[in-house]
Amino acid sequence: MNHFLKEDLTNLEGLLEKIKEQGISYLDNLSERATYSDHQLPEEILSVKEGKGSEETFKIFNERLEPLMVASSGPRYWGFVTGGTTPASIMGDWLTSIYDQNTQALKGVGDISGQIEIETIKMLLDFFELPQDYIGGFVSGATMSNFTCLAVARQWIGKNLGKDFAKDGITEKINVLSAMPHSSSIKSLSMLGIGSNNITKIKVAEGNRECLDTVDLEEKIKELNGEPFILISSAGTVNTVDFDDFQAISKLKNKYNFWWHIDAAFGAFAKCSDEHKHLLKDWENADSITIDNHKWMNVPYENAVFLIKEKHKLEQIETFQNSSAPYLGDPMEKFSCLNFLPENSRRLKALPVWFSMIAYGKDGFKEMIEKSISLSQYFGKLIENDNNFEILAPVRLNTVCFTLKDQTSEQVLEFLERLNQTKKVFLTPTIYKGKQAIRAALVNWRTESSDVELVFNLMQELLRK
């Protein structure tokens, strides 16, 4: 055995103790840590010719990298949609690394982590008040989830046309309808060979909305003359968290033949709020749903699930069947994750989610989600009541989309840059209805009203300067 490995093995407790202590210190000081880093890594590449041992490596990490780590899991990291990490989720995630299971088979071969994954999916379906007739799985993020769902949708379209796209490649045009698809769905269409240009855009509803216009949707459907198509719908658009009308889409689903996909990356968590769960009414009629756990569930990266109706299991297997995986007779009987999703070797991503749901329960998440919503509303109110700012859309859930009144795009971006440079908050820019805007997405369980006030005061201070 290599002498460093031997040393590490003897000193395992000491090494892990150090990581634990530093981890606690990081987590306990998240609120003080910078939310923004403009440093670059030094150019020189570290030599790996000879090993240095883990103690020394940890020192090098602490000198070279640690100071550059930003508080992205802290209470004022409001850029993109960035969740934090609850204690239970970290416990599950650490154990995932330690136990290092390879989550593949459910029955018969090797470990039982596949069963843990299936159990967790069932718990998630219950958590989101969805029926149990979905086959789900864990993937790295909503991008991969959208990819997985749309891959099966592609196969389903083929089946309708009497083709097997998985085997023979795509030989026909695939119709895709959507109003406001997330960029990751568009990327998935290019990865899937469907083509990112092949989206028929549905009109966005009138007024200050980002959801699809259901009248226009039906018109576009009629123009297809009965050809099957894929509808990509939104449960939470990125700028203003608007939801497509799922009740109306459900009705259309009874009339027309299409695959209904919902990107509910973070919008799914509206289900935890009594006041907002109506936004998801009838979503259980969708053929596939994307949900991110590393956003509003506050589980460490990378963690998302896809949910695909069990009735499509054949198309799902045709899409992902791994030729070397055991698959004889009934694929559900000899279930192997390999045959149901893109990856082969996989981390047991379910464990941090399993820990989170058991530790905090639906009632815990209800509190957490409702708090994010009410803090977003509070931030929105402060902005709305200040003459220097303009709120661009109502705060529908957890995102505040605003700009500076009577200022050019450059001025807005410069203001945002100065705000981020304070390193006390991190926000990201966006364009909303042609206007340069700033977005705050609040999904971190640690955020308090004092954080909202701190940020708002900073914004006012910057304007006075």
Ligand X SMILES: *Cc1c(COP(=O)(O)O)cnc(C)c1O
304 sits near ligand X (criterion: CB under 6 A): yes
95 secondary structure, DSSP code: H
Q: In one letter, which amino acid is 59?
A: K
Stretch that binds ligand X, among 94-102, 139-147, 335-343, 360-368 (CB under 6 A): 139-147
Q: In one letter, which amino acid is 148?
A: T
Comparison of 130 and 404: residue with beta carbon closer to ligand X:
130
283 sits near ligand X (criterion: CB under 6 A): no
Which residues, other chains included, contact 255 with Cβ-Cβ below 8 Å and sequence gap of 6+? none
What is the rounded CA–CA span in Å between residue 374 and residue 397?
Answer: 8
CB 139 to ligand X: min, Å: 9
178 sits near ligand X (criterion: CB under 6 A): no
Stretch that binds ligand X, among 138-146, 172-180, 225-233, 391-399 (CB under 6 A): 138-146
Residue with the two structure tokens 């795509």: 170
Which helix or strand (DSSP H or E) is residue 289 part of?
strand 288-292
Dmax (CA) of the chain: 72
141 sits near ligand X (criterion: CB under 6 A): yes
Phi and psi at 218, nearest 5°, equal -65, -35
For the record, the structure tokens of 218 come out as: 């039906």
What is the rounded CA–CA span in Å between residue 267 and residue 398?
Answer: 9
Interface residue with ligand X among 105, 142, 149, 368 (CB under 6 A) is 142
CB 433 to ligand X: min, Å: 18
Comparison of 54 and 146: residue with beta carbon closer to ligand X:
146
- Angle at CA 258, nearest 5°, toward 254 and 260? 90
Phi and psi at 433, nearest 5°, equal 45, 45
210 sits near ligand X (criterion: CB under 6 A): no
Per-residue binding letters, 228-247, with ligand X (x by CB under 6 A): --------x-x---------
Stretch that binds ligand X, among 136-144, 151-159, 243-251, 268-276 (CB under 6 A): 136-144
Size of the site for ligand X (CB under 6 A): 13
Stretch that binds ligand X, among 16-24, 135-143, 155-163, 443-451 (CB under 6 A): 135-143
CB 267 to ligand X: min, Å: 7
Residue whose beta carbon is closest to ligand X: 141
Footprint (CB under 6 A) of ligand X, residues 34-93: 81
User: Residue ranges of the alpha helices (H) in 128-262?
Assistant: 142-160, 165-168, 183-191, 214-223, 246-255
Comparison of 125 and 291: residue with beta carbon closer to ligand X:
291
184 sits near ligand X (criterion: CB under 6 A): yes
CB 145 to ligand X: min, Å: 7
CB 272 to ligand X: min, Å: 17
CB 169 to ligand X: min, Å: 26
Total length of the chain: 465
388 secondary structure, DSSP code: T
Which helix or strand (DSSP H or E) is residue 234 part of?
strand 229-234
265 sits near ligand X (criterion: CB under 6 A): yes
Q: Is 411 helix (H, G, I), strand (E, B) or coil?
A: helix
Phi and psi at 427, nearest 5°, equal -125, 160
**CA nearest to 18, candidates 70, 52, 56, 46:** 56
Comparison of 293 and 403: residue with beta carbon closer to ligand X:
293
In the complex, which residues of this chain contact ligand X (CB under 6 A)?
Answer: 81, 141-143, 182, 184, 236, 238, 263, 265-266, 292, 304
